[in-house]
Amino acid sequence: AQSVTQLDSQVPVFEEAPVELRCNYSSSVSVYLFWYVQYPNQGLQLLLKYLSGSTLVKGINGFEAEFNKSQTSFHLRKPSVHISDTAEYFCAVRLSGYSTLTFGKGTMLLVSP
């Protein structure tokens, strides 16, 4: 069975600083990878997804993620964060041939002025 580990439950950062949210997964078969964002009192919104091909994936709101197969990682990055990026971020994996997603436990990004 696959699993997803988000190594940090909270990441505090100052506005305009760069940030990296870490995600590692375990699976022996092909996977699709996703990052979702959840703003307070809202549902989850897709930030970006890795399907195949280029390992660097660009998403909405200036976020990007890099797929590293050898390290089974899919870390999310943004070069300069805004206060409005304060939210919870979830990494998720879907096995090829399956419909369900397995989610990590989430990382709360706290951006302060």
Question: Which positions touch other proteins (CB under 8 A)?
Answer: 9, 32, 34, 36, 41-46, 49, 51, 90, 94, 97-101, 103-106
Q: How far apart are CA 6 and CA 46, in angstroms?
A: 17
How many whole angstroms separate alpha carbon 10 and alpha carbon 25?
19
User: Which CB sits closer to other proteins, 17 or 60?
Assistant: 60
For residue 9, the minimal CB distance to other proteins (Å) is 7
Please give the Cα distance from 5 to 16 (Å, whole number): 26
Per DSSP, 85 falls in state G
In this structure, are residues 24 and 5 in contact, taking their beta carbons and an 8 Å threshold?
A: yes
Closest CB to other proteins among residues 3, 84 = 3
Give the residue with the Cβ less far from other proteins, 30 or 80.
30
Q: Closest distance between other proteins and the C-beta of residue 16, in Å?
A: 29
